Chains A and B, each alone.
Chain A
Amino acid sequence: MAFALHIVVCAGIVSDPLQTLEPATGPNGPGLKNEMVLPAVLDPWAASALYEAAQLTAKNPGSKLWLVSLGPKAKLQQVMMTVAQKVAFELVPIDGPIGGFSDAHSTAAVLAETIAALPGLDRGKLLLFGGWESAARGAGVTLQLVGERLGISDQFQGVDQIDLRDDGSFEVLERVEGGKHQVSVCAGAPAVLGWATGNLAEPRNNPQVGMSNMRTIMPALQKAKAAKLEANGLRYLSVGLPKQQRTTRVVKDLAPDEIAAELVEWIGAE
């Protein structure tokens, strides 16, 4: 028996990890140098959440999937040109700052307010998805705070799998220490699930899905509400790149026997 779910995925956008990321301090505090011209991508773990959500939505007729994303409109549009081709969703954009230096509590407040106001959202069917940490701030608290604000007290973080059961309950696997998973069974929605990698590969681009999504994404972007994020007393005393450049010894002319002997000695040394 299928259960109609209302899945809301919170997913930020981050500067492409393949780029050089250099901090710079501006009038509004720290940020990344040339942040607005760096290519951006959907936050990787949040993207896993989106793909898992899309699969659940497809398996459960009557389900609906929203993607709530906070970022500069121009950047959101750029990222959505790619993401929209992956899976079908309704974008709920919020025009706000990009970057990892904003306060998670402020971000959560804006997201919770937006989700609470989603037309047609049935909170009894709500699964709130997102990445368990972002690739920017990496605090792992935003989704939890959104859940608290929405009054959801069944929360799971580092999720790699959920299995929906016939009675609407689901088994969930969360990452814990030592390469293990904690196994829990939740009675059903509403719940918060902060995803780790999951088990799904990135879907292939589907131009038809992209065209269908973009018909609603562009008007939504035009109507995106602007959000200002409070600092909540957060002050940055210093921001910088780590100074961990090592003096590398490159060994090119040793035979495997000699390298092995050197490595074994190194492994055994205290």
Chain B
Amino acid sequence: MESVLVLTHAALSDDNSAESGSPLARASLEAVTAGMELAARLSASLTIGILAVDAAMAAKTLPTAGARLLAVCGEAFAQPRYATDAAALEALCRAANPTIVLAPGSSRFTRVAAGVAHRLGGFVDTHITSLGDSDAVEASRWFYRQRVEAVVSRDVRPWFLLLDAGTHKAFAGEAGAAQVEQVAVELPALRTTVSGLRAPAKDAQTIRPDAKLLLVAGAGWTKKQADGQVHAAEAGELILGFLCLAGASLGSSKSLVDQGGEGNSVLPFLTHLNQIGQTGATPRHAKGLSTCCHGEEPHVVGWRFIGDRRAISLDPNCGWTRGKADVVYVADAFAVMSKVNALLETNKV
């Protein structure tokens, strides 16, 4: 008989410094939902493991999950760090002794899950997008950067499964007093100190994972325009203006980001963190608008989880027109986006 352990961690605070002991991260609550569904389907026992500074605070919405609650807590776990997190998760797993371990695919748990699985003699699969609906444990994931989809299973246990964010609804339980069992951890000597997070200034942050809309800028923005001139500064103003007015997140093609290293005109707010596609991110947004991008496969694989897709391109034969976007406007993105910004500005007023 299977037993399911869901590993969770507290959310990072917005003050860019440390974990505050606040309630669980959204990705963790999504894993709780997945764990509850899986345990119910398999008639398995369910345990939730919590990693937080203040476990009682972090567990306050979990009493209605119907699970045994285990926690590792303390200041040592305020910061994500391999040595402490791996020790904590190992202790939680040994205390729960599960056959299936679900965890959010957050940067914190992605850093340590494989190591913990190895310590327990188990195996790990990551980027899981669904857990099937049969009476066995079957996990879907993508290979070759979202170009090939597979369903996998394993006979060996414990089996760790890291769930991609956005694939399950976040668990929303009513707050209450939770019975949390504390698990002791013996920490190794620590050689790493985490000093916090480094982020662009608040008004310069162009990556917004919670935005409904993703705007992707391609290399065409910094190419010569109809007048034979490059208009990189104007392109930057149009893009930033749109992000501000529409509350969108900004992605970029690799070629545009790479231009910075090749001495060409660049958009100074773009970094490799904005890169979408084969060697970049695969974000999840309800809508995506591509501008000045050719829409070839290595870039479009990064759009796998974008729902409604539109593109503006001067090329009527670009990749987007070949079944990769819902609507393609054959037009000059400079002209269109300036009109879009004007309309959004008017609507705001």
Contact B330 A197 (CB under 8 A): no
Q: With CB as the reference atom, state the residue of chain B lying closest to A263.
A: B340
Q: Using Cβ atoms and an 8 Å threshold, which residues of chain A touch B308? A: 266
B139–chain A nearest beta-carbon distance, Å? 9
Q: Which of A149, A182, A254 contacts B331 (CB 8 A)?
A: A254
Q: Which of A144-182 contact B (CB under 8 A)?
A: 144-145, 147-149, 153-158, 160, 173-182
Q: Using Cβ atoms and an 8 Å threshold, which residues of chain A touch B143? A: 100-101, 136-138, 239
How many angstroms between the C-alpha atoms of A177 and B274 in the bound complex?
12
Q: Quick check: is B1 within 8 A (CB to CB) of the other chain?
A: no
Q: Using Cβ atoms and an 8 Å threshold, which residues of chain A touch B273? A: 160, 175, 179
How many angstroms between the C-alpha atoms of A117 and B262 in the bound complex?
40
Q: Using Cβ atoms and an 8 Å threshold, which residues of chain A touch B118? A: 105, 145, 148-149
A13–chain B nearest beta-carbon distance, Å? 13
Q: Which of A232-270 contact B (CB under 8 A)?
A: 232-242, 244-252, 254, 256-257, 259-261, 263-264, 266-268
Q: Using Cβ atoms and an 8 Å threshold, which residues of chain B touch A268? A: 347
Q: Using Cβ atoms and an 8 Å threshold, which residues of chain A touch B152? A: 234-237
Contact B155 A235 (CB under 8 A): yes
Q: Quick check: is A21 within 8 A (CB to CB) of the other chain?
A: yes
A71–chain B nearest beta-carbon distance, Å? 16
Stretch of A81-89, A121-129, A183-191, A215-223 contacting B (4+ beta carbons < 8 Å): A183-191
How many angstroms between the C-alpha atoms of A214 and B324 in the bound complex?
42
Q: Using Cβ atoms and an 8 Å threshold, which residues of chain B touch A138? A: 127, 142-145
Q: Quick check: is A17 within 8 A (CB to CB) of the other chain?
A: yes
Q: Quick check: is A37 within 8 A (CB to CB) of the other chain?
A: no
* Given A101-B143, A238-B151, A239-B150, A185-B193 contact (CB < 8 Å): yes
* Given A176-B107, A180-B16, A246-B309, A259-B149 contact (CB < 8 Å): no
* Given A156-B82, A176-B107, A44-B309 contact (CB < 8 Å): no
A242–chain B nearest beta-carbon distance, Å? 5
Q: Quick check: is B275 within 8 A (CB to CB) of the other chain?
A: yes
How many angstroms between the C-alpha atoms of A180 and B320 in the bound complex?
30
Q: Quick check: is B229 within 8 A (CB to CB) of the other chain?
A: no
- Interface bits B254-284 vs A (CB < 8 Å: 1, else 0): 0000100110000000001111001110000
Q: Using Cβ atoms and an 8 Å threshold, which residues of chain B touch A181? A: 197-199
Contact A184 B193 (CB under 8 A): yes
Q: With CB as the reference atom, state the residue of chain A lying closest to B303.
A: A244
By a beta-carbon cutoff of 8 Å, the part of chain B in contact with chain A is: 12, 16, 80-83, 86, 106-108, 110-115, 118-119, 123-127, 138, 142-156, 188, 191-200, 205-209, 213, 246, 258, 261-262, 272-275, 278-280, 287, 289, 297-298, 304, 308-310, 312, 316, 320-332, 335-340, 342-344, 347
Given contacts A105-B123, A200-B261, 17 further A-B contacts (CB under 8 A): A17-B278, A44-B278, A140-B110, A141-B124, A141-B126, A144-B111, A148-B115, A178-B208, A180-B199, A182-B194, A184-B194, A185-B193, A198-B272, A240-B149, A246-B325, A246-B326, A251-B328
10 A-B pairs (CB sep. < 8 Å): A105-B123, A154-B83, A157-B107, A178-B207, A179-B273, A181-B199, A248-B327, A250-B316, A256-B336, A256-B338
